[in-house]
Amino acid sequence: MPARYARFDTMPLAGTWRAGTSGRSAEDVDPYTGEVLTELPLAGRDDLELAYATAVEAGRRWAAVTPEERAAVMRRASRLLEERREEAVDWTIRETGAVSAVAELTIDLTVGDFYEAASYPFRVAGRILDSLVPGKENRVYRRPVGVVTVISPWNVPLHLTNRSVAPALALGNAVVVKPAGDTPVAGGLFLARLLEEAGLPPGVLSVVVGPGSEIGDALVEHPVPRVISFTGSTAVGEGIARKAGLKKLALELGGNGPLVVLDDADLDLAVDTAVFGKFFHAGQICMITNRIVVDAAVHDAFVERYVERVRALPAGDPRAEETVIGPIINRSQLGTILDKLRAARDDGAEQLLGGEPTGPTGLVLPPHVLLGTNEVATARQEVFGPVVTVIRADGEEDALRIANDTELGLSSAVMTGDVERGVRFARRVEAGMCHINDSPVNDDHHTAFGGDKASGLGRFGGDWVIDELTTDQWVSVQHERRQYPF
């Protein structure tokens, strides 16, 4: 086992690890125990300016290296992460409150990000196009956009940062990352150490840990970055879209995922899928099931089995092997969830299962199951916690209407005994992703993540990400002397 990375009390800014100059510091706290993991002097506007200025110059040099050199850094990073798996899992558990199964999957996905990214330098393709002018050819080259800004969330920070960072770097761009304040290490600093050890040149990647109130607008309004990659809430994403100006945007925003159980579904499979699809990582995933829409013919039987299964889910210390549901990330987020629960009950929802928060910091919320309509607060809004609303539907068409009755459209699922019926249903669901007889929590790292409606725009995987993070340049070549009209 390699020695653990040193204490994370500085950040990589413009080629060197240093403290931020904002004059303010922030504590990084374990949400379950309340332990202070590190204290970090925060970055300010001057740090951001320096990071962007350095990224321009370092990025040009990085774009000029061979595709194999960039791919080799990605391959080394993937191997190093495997070697440091235990360390990365520990940071993920302590910083996010994730249980071990979530942390292990996070590392698997992040390793996959690097492996996939290692192929990107060899998948960039140009074109040669005919011309209307005799003796002329038109060449379309694909080149890096330049500098990419990545603003990442706290819930699965290592992977959700790296799914943008690794492709951007592999394609020859420089990157400036702003991780969430709750997860600065897993969301950026650990990744930076890993890539530094893998041979990424200084200045190509900067991590700016600072208050959104001071540097948030500057991150997206600044003229240097050409692409903004953001994963987070719809409200913040809409603000970025208003402020970014003439930049490419890759936004994965909120979700209100329906899991639809049709009348011919295997109920045991539907229950298993709905339990995992809701309570994985305590429901703190944008693609999680927020609503379960069940055909009236099987509604009561499903609810009885589902409540029985959910009641048995252990909630508590994320370090304990048996724990399924760990803590909510912070007190503000817990308060938002509790407010939505109260509003849903006021709206007429019937709570079948629930309980008060527990644990050393009072952030472990036991699983909640409610019966209600699509109009109650916990169905109308994204909850982002261990709370689910079960909704009765009068047949397939009503189930489809309920599933689509939301402004959000990220991920979804349908359970049925007839796969082709499921496909026909899925193609009418207004969501960027729909899974048949599987959870809406998509764990295919190479998949094109992205949403419909107010859940975002752009894609984060596969060949789509090459299009997002490179740009066309048209170069024409006149091989024969041309006769101009004047």
* Pair of tokens at residue 107: 């590392």
Per residue, what are the HEC states of 117-147? HHHHHHCCCCEEECCCCCCEEEEEEEEECCE
- The Cα–Cα gap between 232 and 253 comes to 5
Three-state DSSP state, 53: helix
Amino acid at 457: L
Active site includes 286? yes
Pairing of strands 147-151, 136-144: unpaired
User: Is the backbone of residue 273 left (phi > 0), alpha (psi -120 to 50) or beta?
Assistant: alpha
Q: Which residues contact 467 (CB under 8 A, 6 or more apart)?
A: none
Per residue, what are the HEC states of 284-295? CCCCCEEEEEEE
* Pair of tokens at residue 119: 């192929």
| φ, ψ at 156 (rounded to 5°) | -130, 65
Q: Which residues contact 102 (CB under 8 A, 6 or more apart)?
A: 92, 156, 280, 281
Distance of CA 315 to the CA centre of its chain: 24
Tell me if 269 sits within 8 A of 261, measured CB to CB.
no
- The Cα–Cα gap between 173 and 147 comes to 6
- Cα distances (angstroms) measured from residue 218 to each of 52, 110, 243, 458: 11, 28, 9, 22
Active site includes 197? no
Q: Given the residues 95, 252, 382, 468, select the one marked as catalytic.
A: 252
Q: Given the residues 87, 95, 116, 286, select the one marked as catalytic.
A: 286
Residues catalogued as catalytic: 252, 286
